[in-house]
Structure 1
Amino acid sequence: MSDIIFQASDLANKRTEILERARQGLAQIRDKDSTSLVMLPERRLRMLEEIAKWSLAHMRLDDLLRRDAAPSISDLGDLAWLRVFEADDLREFVDELHAVLIAAHSDQDPSALDEFIRSWRITARQLEDPLRRSVLLGRHDPNDFVEAPMPQ
């Protein structure tokens, strides 16, 4: 937290100092009823909200995977898009999510987290299509492939 706590009355005559502290990361204001209020850049708030949301999802999914049965769509809830993955893939998702959450918090930047989720969602969409799933996960024999002649 901030080392300076402003009073609500300071908003009238110290607003420039309060705004500057908020721009730098955080300004704490004590309201008349002793409620502690905080001002911070919106991008930081959004980053903290995103990390909190995915941290909760990480804990919930990690807990689900500790059970013997595969998680149902109801169990997955808003993570139901992960239903196309097998248990090993879900465990990999959880492990990678953990690492990305740490990096995003450390960097104070959710872009790696956003890219991680986007990539996994794209893969999930591809696996939902039976033909794509068979191509992506099917067995490939080198004899199935032939060299293509150079176009004339």
Structure 2
Amino acid sequence: MTAVTTTKDRIYQPSDLAGNHRKTFIAEALDSQARLRSTDGESLIMMREARLEHVAAVRDHAVAYLTLDMALRRPRKQRRPGDYGPWAFLDAFEDEDIEEFQQEVNDAIVLAASGRDHSPVERLLHEWRMSAETLSDPVAREILDGRSSDEDWVEVEDAAEPHETPQNEG
């Protein structure tokens, strides 16, 4: 039985780029990727830059996820913010919240890896970073944790209200 070679399996030679196959090579690169064998025997890939950036972003998120997973294998008291890698902001959260984040980011990374859009991962990270920033404020954390009540606060007069000043009679 003879194997059928499709154009996707084709490896172009530098001489092909000077001839009629140049348009096919570029079309394949635009569609997905095109392979070129350099004169020294190296295999090179040409693809859309946006696709390469997407693949790199998914890779970076996957590595960050694995770093988080390794950090969570240690007891909380043994972890430092740097143990979370690029997601050091997670140190502001309790372990239950970090586990919720881990599940959400796992789902987002899997979704991003199956397509060409990693922006849902970026949005999720942004939302969690904003929450971590809020929790890093001790007063905000007390309010959110319910450790503060209305009795802990006093009303302040509005300094913008004009005060009566005596007029110079004269």
Same fold (TM over 0.5): yes
Instruction: Work out which of the residue numbers 5, 26, 34 in structure 2 matches 1:19.
Output: 26
Aligned-partner Cα distance in 2 for 1:38–1:130: 51
Paired position in structure 1 for 2:120: 112
Instruction: Work out which of the residue numbers 73, 94, 109 in structure 1 matches 2:81.
Output: 73
User: Tell me, which stretches of 5 or more residues in structure 1 are unaligned?
Assistant: 142-152
Instruction: Work out which of the residue numbers 133, 136, 143 in structure 2 matches 1:125.
Output: 133
User: Tell me, which stretches of 5 or more residues in structure 2 are unaligned?
Assistant: 1-7, 150-170
1:45 positional shift: 0.7
**CA 137–10 in structure 1, closer or farther in 2 if over 3 Å, else same:** farther
**CA 94–26 in structure 1, closer or farther in 2 if over 3 Å, else same:** same
Paired position in structure 2 for 1:103: 111
**Which letter does structure 1 place at the counterpart of 2:39?**
K
Name the TM-score, length of structure 2 as normaliser.
Answer: 0.75
Deviates further, 66-75 or 81-90: 66-75
- Give runs of aligned pairs for residues 24-103 of structure 1, distance below 5 A: 24-70=31-77, 71-103=79-111
| Structure 1 runs (4+) greater than 6 angstroms displaced | none
**Which letter does structure 1 place at the counterpart of 2:71?**
L
Larger Rg: 2
Name the TM-score, length of structure 1 as normaliser.
Answer: 0.83
Identical columns (%)? 34
| Deviation string, structure 1 residues 71-110 (Cα, Å, up to 9, x no partner) | 2023223322221111111111111111111111112211
Deviates further, 30-39 or 2-11: 2-11
Assess if the C-alpha contact under 8 Å between 2:67 and 2:85 holds in 1: no
- Larger RCO, structure (CA 8 Å, separation 6 or more): 1
Partner SS for 2:45: strand
Report the structure, 1 or 2, having the larger helix content. 1
What's the Cα RMSD here?
1.9
Aligned-partner Cα distance in 2 for 1:72–1:55: 20
Deviates further, 38-47 or 69-78: 69-78
